[in-house]
Structure 1
Amino acid sequence: MNAPAGPTAPDPTRVAADVAAALAEDLGDGDVTAALLPDAPDCAYLLCKEDAVVCGRPWFEGCHRALDPEVRIDWRVSEGDRVAAGTVLAILQGRNRALVSAERASLNFMQTLSGTATITAAHVDAVRGTGTGILDTRKTLPGLRHAQKYAVRTGGGVNHRMGLYDTVMLKENHVRAAGSLTAAIRAARAMQPTLPLIVEVESIEQLREALTEGCDRVLIDDFTPQMRREAVAIARAAPFDGRIPLEVSGGVDLAGLRAIAEDGVDFISIGGLTKHVRAIDLSLKLGPPPG
């Protein structure tokens, strides 16, 4: 299976749904604090307080346009740009009540998605030049999978399966139920002949079995470094000739990432890209930017 290449735009329908849910959660029957403002024309600026990869512009814009369709947002950076602390990302001009009412929801999206893109970029940088791709997983925040996986792409990573519906992935439970790895692969092919098939293996013997029977990618889970290097050698040698890519998962951290990539694996999947979320420090301030 060839993973999707390069960042692609988020689905506008999904963005709109995310925005509607966030605003409904925050505003309820109305912003009782913003009502204290005179509802006059005003401006604001979006400030990034730390080094980051910018991500989440469609959601940020969606929040503000939902409350003020006439708001003007002048971006000084592009989606995916790497920026330094202190960078003004955008200037907004609109009604002050709408600006402050949309503030928290818009920042929540930008902070979270920029955080995901930033940590992804750090992992991509760590393996740059090796030919190894960085994959995400399904360990995402509930309701924000589409958004977080977009952020992974923005940071230079590659999406694994989006859900349980678009790729068949065989693990130990399926092998146990089928009686053997070969039987599980054949059953999966018979039931879902058009979907990509990923097979998780736990030993060199299972690796050979999966490569012989055929699939779209093999996941070598929790292999020792010696086993991993042996797996790469087997998968690249005749008769397999590197046709089936290898993915590494389990026990992966940033410090040891390059060593794994240099062993020659095709992909490394990392749940922490979307599971361990640390938001980027952003703020939206009324008034013109300093300077």
Structure 2
Amino acid sequence: MSAGNQFAAPADAVIAANVAAALAEDIGPGDATASLLDDAPDRAYLLCKEDCVVAGRPWFDAVHHALDRAARIDWRCSEGDRIAKGTVIATLQGHNRALVSAERASLNFLQTLSGTATVTARYVDAVRGTGTKILDTRKTIPGLRSAQKYAVRVGGGSNHRIALYDAVMLKENHIRAFGSVAAAITRARALHPELPLIVEVETVAQLREALDTGCSRILIDDFDADTRREAVRIAKGARYSGRIPLEVSGGVDMTTLRGIAEDGVDCISIGGLTKHVHAIDFSLKLGPPPGG
């Protein structure tokens, strides 16, 4: 059985708010079906029904404990473990009404976050050995950004900016408003010197301008392969020495991922980690697990 969670989850208050919202929409004024049960002590087990990377234990636990503070959950895996289809990953003890009322909300968190971690792990595996980091984006399920970005970390990925407040990101419209990359960077540095500054460029000329002016990271968005390799050659050449990391976004899938990484970029950001969620199939069943 696992000794605990090695990944830094969001603050307890964030998890509690997620759980409160989930239970409010699912149970509302009361679980009509669960009220038929006699509220007796019972057991349950959690079955993983497809290969995956597990993520979401803190939310699963919080749902059950919100309905039964005395519920006991014994995990047989850790966050980030790769689990085979057909594995019992936890057993539970509590009152049957609470166990069945918590079932759907707890599984919704677990299936969604495990789905995010699982797809992230696939992308991380695909670039292993290149030195390229896999990043997420802000294309998340509303209200679950912190949870999904946590799941990305569980899957071995890294987080891009969390929201609009923790980094400045200059894109086409901002650069157009200021007339040039350099002018936009200068304005951003003047107003927010404490924040990371990411600049999206569309041409090699803009890339050179961003490198000369200085920023935290440069996003080369939708560059074709030849232009991307030229961008890497420039950014990592003698003049700039790779001081400013290059990020690629757009046109990235499993067929193009490895080649992009091997071109020498530092980061690849992929909206599909959190946007195209394939929920992992889990089942919570009352009674002892198969085999006792």
What is the TM-score normalised by the length of structure 2?
0.97
Residue of structure 1 equivalent to 2:228: 228
Q: Partners of 1:38 and 1:215 in 2: how far apart?
A: 63
**Counterpart of 1:257 in structure 2: which amino acid?**
L
Residue of structure 1 equivalent to 2:130: 130
- Deviation, 1:7, is 4.4
- Deviation, 1:108, is 0.2
Percent identity between the two aligned chains: 74
Q: Please give the secondary structure, in 1, of the residue aligned with 2:193.
A: coil
Q: Does 1:148 align with 2:148?
A: yes
Report matched runs for 1:53-68 at 5 Å. 53-68=53-68
Partner deviation per Cα, 1:36-93 (whole Å, 9 max, x = no partner):
0110000000000000000000000000000000000000000110000001110000
**Counterpart of 1:40 in structure 2: which amino acid?**
A
Partner deviation per Cα, 1:238-267 (whole Å, 9 max, x = no partner):
221000000000010012111000000000
- Deviation, 1:10, is 2.2
- Deviation, 1:22, is 0.4
Residue of structure 2 equivalent to 1:92: 92
Q: Partners of 2:122 and 2:11 in 1: how far apart?
A: 25
Partner deviation per Cα, 1:220-245 (whole Å, 9 max, x = no partner):
00001001111001001122100000
Q: Partners of 2:213 and 2:86 in 1: how far apart?
A: 55
User: Cα RMSD (Å) of the superposition?
Assistant: 0.8
Residue of structure 2 equivalent to 1:265: 265
What is the TM-score normalised by the length of structure 1?
0.97
**Given that residues 136 and 149 in structure 2 are in contact (C-alpha distance below 8 angstroms), is that contact kept between their aligned partners in structure 1?**
yes
Residue of structure 2 equivalent to 1:32: 32
**Counterpart of 2:194 in structure 1: which amino acid?**
T
Report matched runs for 1:237-256 at 5 Å. 237-256=237-256
Over 4 Å off, 4+ runs: none
Q: Please give the secondary structure, in 2, of the residue aligned with 1:93.
A: strand
Q: Partners of 1:151 and 1:134 in 2: how far apart?
A: 13
Residue of structure 1 equivalent to 2:79: 79
Residue of structure 2 equivalent to 1:3: none
Residue of structure 2 equivalent to 1:9: 9
Residue of structure 1 equivalent to 2:3: none
Q: Please give the secondary structure, in 1, of the residue aligned with 2:21.
A: helix
Deviates further, 210-219 or 10-19: 10-19
Q: Please give the secondary structure, in 1, of the residue aligned with 2:288.
A: coil
**Counterpart of 1:36 in structure 2: which amino acid?**
L
Residue of structure 1 equivalent to 2:184: 184
**Given that residues 7 and 156 in structure 1 are in contact (C-alpha distance below 8 angstroms), is that contact kept between their aligned partners in structure 2?**
no
